[in-house]
């Protein structure tokens, strides 16, 4: 059985060479992530070009994901590089830069901090190792009590889990990075620190201004985004469960359940979900993952993730190819178990809301019909990729093959569970279109001659915006 869950690899210093990238593709990389929190524009341009060269050499489509840094908040320079904060101490927090941060006066580079913060809200520093609680404010800044002490070092990151920050969703750096990404024709863009629907809409607006058909991934890493998930899902093309900052901003014991709810919500809305952060972290140095890491990856697969992501493991790790091979093996075993235990399609008919559009209903029918007639594949002709997403959310036991006349959609569907996409010019005649699907299936040896396939299509064939027909046929 082919692997259904996709693998996202972050590229970095350890994965810049063309030969290394080609080996990643051969090992199973489906999506190449360009993390714009690090690296120069020149480095990213080089990696994008090499990913495309490697994918072509391997005869595979690799989706290119640009990940914008977002409004990262940090502590200023600390006197002597480090000061000790002790539990119970009172400190002043300001966004007006002094010459240096001291033990009793802490500078945080967020201009609206004093305006946005309220009494009782938390300020977390250095991945949550240090915790301050706001006790009041005056003209000179915030007053806060140290709840969790320890060494405070220069330029450490700051999280504000209780504070609805008023920063724009994209910084000047993000806008410049986005301009480069759109020039490079990246397939999808991930937006960091999303809080609400309007944050995603701001990115979509920028993309539309450039007349680019680039999809958007909303990174869910703040409690505000979890609360506003339904509204965010209405405007995003997918989400990322970014467990790093999410695990700082909410109690760590809540993260596993939140992960499951986020994945389920994405599946219900036919929006792909990437599960990310520290999945095989020990393999940054070690040649084998821990048993706990293997279980983490497997459970993300069993939860229904469309894709699982590697970060430092492939960007700066010592075993970038080996870690992809390990993740590939873990995913395959988890999927084998999942299919052994499964009794029905993931989205049962009673879970589909009455009044959902025709494409959703036809997609469910196609999956159920494919199971009943023993089809070897579910195929769809789609212009936007929406039909492929509607089919994939049901997690059929056979592969999903999408056929589109849009090259960008071919690449974007590389992120979607269980789906392989092909470019074909659409025919005016439905029978010709179905014959072309059969031809591609035969050319690529995707199904056995004589086997049944289920095909969804919008009639008349060049129709845009709707799938209304299910066709069962045997491939000759």
Mean pLDDT of the chain: 94
Question: Catalytic residue positions?
Answer: 33, 74, 219, 277
CATH number at residue 126: 2.40.33.10
Same domain, 81 and 200: no
Same domain, 335 and 252: yes
* Per-residue confidence (pLDDT) for residue 99, from 0 to 100: 66
Domain for residue 278, yes or no?
yes
Same domain, 190 and 306: yes
* Per-residue confidence (pLDDT) for residue 112, from 0 to 100: 93
* Per-residue confidence (pLDDT) for residue 354, from 0 to 100: 55
In whole angstroms, what is the distance from residue 6 CA to residue 456 CA?
Answer: 23
In whole angstroms, what is the distance from residue 273 CA to residue 276 CA?
Answer: 10
* Residue-by-residue pLDDT tens, the chain, 476 positions: 689 999 999 999 999 999 999 999 999 999 999 999 999 999 999 999 999 999 999 999 999 999 999 999 999 999 888 999 999 999 999 998 776 788 899 999 999 999 999 999 999 999 999 999 999 999 889 999 999 999 999 999 999 999 989 999 999 999 999 999 999 999 999 999 999 999 999 999 999 999 999 999 999 999 999 999 999 999 999 999 999 999 999 999 999 999 999 999 999 999 999 999 999 999 999 999 999 999 999 999 999 999 999 999 999 999 999 999 999 999 999 999 998 887 667 665 555 555 567 888 899 999 999 999 999 999 999 999 999 999 999 999 999 999 999 999 999 999 999 999 999 998 777 888 899 999 999 999 999 999 999 999 987 665 566 788 899 999 98
The candidate with the shortest Cα–Cα distance to 146, out of 169, 110, 174, 122, is 122
pTM: 0.94
Q: β-pairing, 188-191 with 130-138? A: unpaired
> Of 341, 372, 395, which one is at a domain's C-terminal end?
341
Provide the edge-to-edge strand list for the sheet that holds 73-74. 73-74, 157-159, 122-125, 130-138, 141-148, 90-94, 105-107
Tokens of 320: 């970038």
* Per-residue confidence (pLDDT) for residue 360, from 0 to 100: 87
Domain for residue 1, yes or no?
no
Q: What is the pLDDT of residues 217-271, one digit of tens each?
A: 999 999 999 999 999 999 999 999 999 999 999 999 999 999 999 999 999 999 9
How many CA atoms within 13 Å lie on the side-chain side of 423?
Answer: 9
In whole angstroms, what is the distance from residue 10 CA to residue 245 CA?
Answer: 17
* Per-residue confidence (pLDDT) for residue 462, from 0 to 100: 56
Q: What is the pLDDT of residues 294-323, one digit of tens each?
A: 999 999 999 999 999 999 999 999 999 999
Domain for residue 164, yes or no?
no
> Of 111, 135, 159, which one is at a domain's C-terminal end?
159
Question: E strands, 290-424, where?
Answer: 307-310, 377-381, 400-404, 419-423
Domain for residue 211, yes or no?
yes
Same domain, 367 and 268: no
Q: β-pairing, 469-474 with 452-457? A: antiparallel
In whole angstroms, what is the distance from residue 471 CA to residue 88 CA?
Answer: 70
Same domain, 207 and 255: yes
Structural domains counted in the chain: 3
Same domain, 267 and 317: yes
In whole angstroms, what is the distance from residue 15 CA to residue 431 CA?
Answer: 45
> Of 102, 132, 159, which one is at a domain's C-terminal end?
159
Same domain, 63 and 77: no
CATH number at residue 240: 3.20.20.60
Domain for residue 299, yes or no?
yes
Same domain, 53 and 143: no
Same domain, 327 and 355: no
The domain of 190 spans 6-70+169-341
Same domain, 212 and 289: yes
Same domain, 63 and 205: yes
Tokens of 64: 């290119």
Please state the φ and ψ torsions of residue 456, each to the nearest 5 degrees.
-105, 145
- 292-300 long-range contacts, Cβ below 8 Å, gap at least 24? 294/330, 297/327, 297/330, 297/331, 297/334, 298/330, 298/331, 298/333, 298/334, 298/337, 299/334, 300/259, 300/263, 300/275
Same domain, 424 and 376: yes
* Per-residue confidence (pLDDT) for residue 100, from 0 to 100: 77
In whole angstroms, what is the distance from residue 38 CA to residue 360 CA?
Answer: 40
* Per-residue confidence (pLDDT) for residue 83, from 0 to 100: 95
Domain for residue 113, yes or no?
yes
Domain for residue 116, yes or no?
yes
């Amino acid at each position: 059985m082919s692997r259904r869950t996709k693998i996202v690899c972050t590229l970095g210093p350890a994965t810049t060479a063309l030969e290394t990238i080609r080996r990643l593709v051969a090992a199973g990389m489906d999506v190449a992530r360009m993390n714009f929190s690090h690296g120069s524009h020149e480095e990213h341009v080089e990696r994008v070009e090499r990913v495309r060269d490697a994918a072509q050499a391997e005869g595979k489509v690799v989706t290119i994901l640009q990940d914008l840094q977002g409004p990262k908040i940090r502590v200023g320079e600390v006197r002597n590089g480090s000061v000790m904060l002790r539990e119970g101490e009172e400190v002043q927090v300001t966004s007006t830069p002094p010459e240096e941060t001291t033990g009793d006066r802490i500078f945080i580079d967020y201009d609206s901090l004093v305006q946005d913060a309220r009494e009782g809200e938390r300020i977390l520093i250095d991945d949550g190792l240090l915790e301050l609680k706001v006790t009041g404010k005056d003209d000179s800044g915030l007053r806060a009590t140290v709840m969790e002490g320890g060494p405070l070092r220069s330029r450490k990151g700051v999280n504000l889990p209780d504070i609805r920050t008023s920063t724009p969703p994209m910084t000047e750096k993000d806008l410049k990075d986005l301009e480069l990404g759109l020039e490079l024709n990246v397939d999808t863009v991930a937006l960091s620190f999303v809080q609400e629907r309007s944050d995603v809409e701001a990115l979509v607006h920028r993309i539309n201004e450039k007349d680019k058909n680039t999809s958007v991934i909303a990174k869910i890493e703040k409690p505000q985004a979890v609360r506003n998930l339904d509204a965010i899902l209405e405007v995003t093309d997918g989400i990322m469960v970014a467990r790093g900052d999410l695990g700082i901003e909410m109690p760590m014991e809540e993260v596993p359940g939140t992960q499951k709810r986020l994945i389920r919500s994405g599946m219900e809305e036919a929006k792909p979900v990437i599960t990310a952060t520290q999945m095989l972290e020990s393999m940054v140095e070690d040649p084998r993952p821990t048993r706990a890491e293997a279980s983490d990856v497997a459970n993300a697969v069993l939860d229904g993730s469309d894709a699982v992501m590697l970060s430092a493991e492939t960007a700066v790790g010592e075993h970038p190819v080996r870690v992809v091979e390990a993740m590939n093996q873990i995913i395959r075993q988890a999927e084998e178990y999942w299919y052994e235990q499964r009794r029905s399609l993931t989205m049962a008919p009673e879970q589909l809301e009455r009044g959902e559009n025709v494409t959703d209903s036809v997609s469910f029918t196609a999956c159920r019909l494919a199971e009943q007639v023993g089809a070897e594949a579910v195929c769809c002709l789609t212009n936007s990729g929406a039909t492929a997403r509607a089919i994939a959310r049901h997690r059929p036991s056979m592969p999903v093959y999408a056929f589109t006349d849009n090259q960008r959609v071919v690449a974007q569907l590389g992120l979607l569970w269980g789906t392989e996409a092909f470019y074909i010019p659409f025919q005016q005649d439905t029978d010709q279109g179905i014959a072309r699907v059969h031809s591609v299936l035969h050319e690529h040896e995707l199904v056995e001659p004589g086997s049944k396939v289920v095909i969804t299509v919008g009639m008349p064939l060049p129709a845009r915006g709707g799938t209304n027909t299910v066709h069962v046929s045997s491939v000759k």
